Amino acid sequence: MDILDDHHSDEIDPNVKGYESAGTGTTKRKELHGTIRLDALSGTWRDNPHGAVFHVYKIDFSCDIESYPGFVLLTESKLDDDVANAKVDLYLLDKTAKSSVIPCGEVHLGSDQIKRAMRFHELLFNGLYGKLFQGSKASGVNREFLLQRDNNLLWSTSFIYLILPLEPPNMVDHDSWRINWKGIDSCVSVVEFMRNSAWLSAEQSGAKYRSSIGDSSVADCTAEGTIHLANHSLSIEKLEETVVMSIHTGRIYYVREVLVNTSAESPFDSNVNGAPSKYSSFADYFKKKYGIVLFYPEQPLLLLKQTHNPFNLLSDSEASELRRKMLSSGDLVDAKRNNHVNMPPELLVRIDIKLSALRALYLIPSLIHRLESIMLACQLRKEISYKFPMPSSLILEALTTLRCCEDFSSERLELLGDSVLKYAVSCHVFLKYPQKHEGKLSGQRQSIICNANLHKLGTNCKLQEYIRDSAFEPRRWVAPGQLSVHPVPCSHSVDTSEVPLESTYHTFDETVILGKSCDRGHRWLVSKSIADCVEAVIGAYYVGGGFVAALHTMKWLGIEAELGPCYVDKAINLASDRSCALKIDQVTALESKLGYEFSTKGLLLEAITHLTEQETGVGVDYSYERLEFLGDAVLDVLITWHLYQNHTDIDPGELTDLRSASVNNENFAQVSVRRDLYQHLQLCSESISKQITDYVTLVTDAEDSKSLQGRQCPKVLGDLFESIAGAILIDTKLNVEEVWRIFLPLLSPIVTPDNLELPPFRELNELCDCLGYFFKEHCINVKDVVFVELRLQLEDILLIGEGIGKTKKAAKGQAALYLLKGLESRGMSYDRCVLKRKKQESHDVSSGLVDMKFSVIKDKPRKKQKVSQLPCGDNGASDASIPVIAAVKAEKGGPRSSLYELCKRLQWPMPSFETTEEKSRSPMEFGQGSDKRTGFNSFTSKISLLIPDSGVMEATGEQRADKKNSQDSAALHLLYQLEKQGKVVINC
């Protein structure tokens, strides 16, 4: 049986099996790892009394809609060219800003200039992204201005640089740059003002505050068009768009308008849930809450626009889409309406920087985060140390997981790297061990390329510390000199940034949150991510530097893949000893079909000789198995590389599907038949010959490849195709370009996204997912045969598909094919483009359920209850109990999750929602208690659920402030209706 089925037991290193059994390299095991420190952002210049020399990198922003001033990035270390010349697109709500970094040589700053630059950092970055006041009466900690004294704890030598504003470029010399010391000094003066005069608590006397405002003898100049700020007086005309900071909160604003018909004596409207205010006026509010007695209460109030939190501007497909949804739902509009405040001018200090510079500062976090990511890639590139330069963009892509929500990820490179690694190791073991049969070679290869071993090699090289595994969180971004307002203290009992590789820091707990790092840089990673990163880095070096670069990377990782010419010559010499005299006609005819003439005919003879020939007693001591092992690997890498290069605009999932459809035994078997290669197979087995004959007839008579789905092909035909590829590879001395020149015409047409046909079971799964149907699967094993039954409940009929095969996969494919034909006869066919469009259109309905755990539990013993109407999918079983679901979760998505899982269990079609929106000029209240919300838009949803043999049930939910919550309300009403009618029991 082993000979006929061409099977050999794989021999895998027992050490690797041990790793696998511990979950190493799997998605189930989570591991705690640290994050590498960026060497490029370290510096020792902070306390140098003689100043320091900085490398200067000019940051420019260009946008068609808005103008942004430039900045300079100053670092002690010289940055790699990839960082120093980076170009990054930043996606805002309704526009795109293109940022560019330009190296501008060096500059020396004196110690005084450095201190002034540090004050600029401390004031603006804490004011914009943090807090300038610490402590409160409620917390029992005295309130204090953060910069009341020099705080060296805000600066670390391991993470230190300066971002400083530039003066507008000279019209004559646009490329010149000058630091805007006037703006920096304005920030310095504000810090000094706050240190000397800040109103810190209601208990302090008003004298200190009054002295900061000015002498009471100063006449009220409001009538003359002058407004008194805390540190400055300005004419009304110059106030608009002035950047200011409140002296009692440290918040930064800019002036939108002078409210000429108001004053601090105007009624105070807190607008909290519509309740009347407990303060009679603005003056009363500041006196009671902050102990501030206004010196100029008759001045008009200023309408201020508060600065907002930074967004993730790095991904157009993720961050911008989120903001567009907020805009469409009204959330962002409401936020903007509530982002204005009225303030007495004397509680504000002026910061002498342009509003445009303030807006540009909101681009900085995303830009610096991307630059840090490129630095990370450059740092790894130095570690790998290949002799030729590699694009950092490729390395960064290899380090980036899908969880980062970027417009790129490692998946495509991982797919390619997997093939490159398999090919390199296959060649190595094939050439190094000429006497080992295919089974031993496969086992040895598997022990090298398995995820457990790749994980081990990756952690040995500390690759895990480079992996980017979480989306950029702007609120946690901090600049040097800034104190984080969202700290995540380390709770892992690890004092260093690096986490020991010990079982203490491994877990299989599904509730562990992945990717989120603590302040020490520790984060949980899926164990498989490290193995995937190893493959992706190999793929990146293959793309950027070819096979030689990939081999260098493997050597750095510790993977043995030597491909010396002497080994190839040895393999050729071994094959040249074989006599081809008796079968020279077969060899010549096959060479003609291939369009290639072998230098060593014995290689082709070996490639077409089946193992059963050894039983004939004619002295044959070889077979195609070793060459088939090699050919499988070379065809895999060649086809994967072809697909990778020719389909750059498809997602990694589609690329994987294309490779699966191209690199498989069925496809290769069909090529062997259509190109008449099978006729040259040398074998001595009547049963295999009959299988081949039957399959050739099947392929010849088939109208298209779809009609061959679900039909098992003789494995020997695919093996023959692969072994010929292996023979040509050795004969050309590992010239993969020549192999591809020969095999591209044989394989053509290679599948494309437009004509991709998925396996039947996969196609059924995706089609049902799109249409909102569920099917149930039942399998029975009888000796060497598997029987599969698939039941698919439609609105009006129950479809049953049956399949039989030697494997579960084959049987499921047959059963799925039957159901697909049944659906197609009812006008429901699979079209990849249509599916994509429908999924995109329904994304707003289902996206709230992504990655949520369903709250349905197994049926519990209860009183004997019967369901009067059962879905046809349950075959009308009269003893079926009423389904029991857990208590419906109250959070967003909970009711929909429970309803969807119920439909899945009972094979009811998915419910549909119809949502209507109402807009109002005045705010409306929704919900109760802690769920109470105020908004200007309301949403009401109606849900329809078709229950087979019972008709359609409908329910309408209550008004909610957003679409998803309104759908939850409708789903909850429907669940209660189902319970009332005895179709479900909800546990309380």
Cα 984 from Cα 973, distance rounded (Å): 13
Longest Cα separation, the chain: 121
Do the bridges between strand 884-885 and strand 985-986 make them parallel or antiparallel, or are there none, so unpaired? parallel
Sign of the four-CA dihedral 876, 880, 882, 883: negative
Helix (H, G, I), strand (E, B) or coil at 935: strand
- Whose structure tokens read 């369903």? 854
Cα 813 from Cα 816, distance rounded (Å): 5
Half-sphere exposure of 849 (CA within 13 A, CB side): 17
User: What pLDDT, on the 0 to 100 scale, is given for residue 153?
Assistant: 86
Residue 468 DSSP label: B
Residue 924 CB neighbour total at 10 angstroms: 14
DSSP letters, 161-172, are -EEEEBPPPPSS
Per the CB < 8 A criterion, the answer to whether 230 and 210 are in contact is: no
Cα 941 from Cα 932, distance rounded (Å): 19
- Residue 752, Cα to own-chain centre: how many angstroms? 25
Kindly give, in sequence order, each residue whose CB lies less than 8 Å from that of residue 433, ignoring residues fewer than 6 positions away.
Answer: 440, 441, 444
Cα angle value 123/128/130 (rounded, 5°): 85
Low-confidence ranges of the chain (pLDDT < 70): 1-21, 137-138, 170-175, 198-224, 270-276, 318-338, 579-582, 615-619, 703-710, 830-880, 920-936, 988
Q: Is 62 left (phi over 0), alpha (psi -120 to 50) or beta?
A: beta
Give the pair of three-digit tokens for residue 556.
Answer: 């750095």
Q: Please name the amino acid found at residue 673.
A: V
Cα 652 from Cα 507, distance rounded (Å): 29
Helix (H, G, I), strand (E, B) or coil at 521: coil
Closest CA to 438 of 845, 719, 32: 719
Cα 808 from Cα 779, distance rounded (Å): 8
Per the CB < 8 A criterion, the answer to whether 610 and 678 are in contact is: no
Q: Which residues of 207-236 are buried (b: 16+ CB within 10 A; e: fewer)?
A: eebbebbeeeeeeeebeeeebbbbbbebee
Taking only Cα atoms into account, the Rg of the chain, rounded to an integer number of angstroms, comes to 35
Give the pair of three-digit tokens for residue 671.
Answer: 């090529």
Closest CA to 370 of 102, 82, 650: 82
917 φ/ψ angles, rounded to the nearest 5 degrees? -120, 140
Cα 818 from Cα 793, distance rounded (Å): 14
Residue 321 CB neighbour total at 10 angstroms: 13
Give the pair of three-digit tokens for residue 503.
Answer: 């079982």
- Whose structure tokens read 């005045």? 922
User: What pLDDT, on the 0 to 100 scale, is given for residue 214?
Assistant: 47
348 φ/ψ angles, rounded to the nearest 5 degrees? -125, 140
Helix (H, G, I), strand (E, B) or coil at 241: coil
Per the CB < 8 A criterion, the answer to whether 696 and 673 are in contact is: yes
Cα 468 from Cα 456, distance rounded (Å): 19
Residue 465 CB neighbour total at 10 angstroms: 18
Closest CA to 667 of 617, 621, 719: 719
Half-sphere exposure of 76 (CA within 13 A, CB side): 17
Per the CB < 8 A criterion, the answer to whether 183 and 168 are in contact is: no
Kindly give, in sequence order, each residue whose CB lies less than 8 Å from that of residue 101, ignoring residues fewer than 6 positions away.
Answer: 57, 58, 59, 73, 83, 84, 85, 86, 87, 371
Half-sphere exposure of 621 (CA within 13 A, CB side): 8
Half-sphere exposure of 840 (CA within 13 A, CB side): 8
Per the CB < 8 A criterion, the answer to whether 895 and 885 are in contact is: no
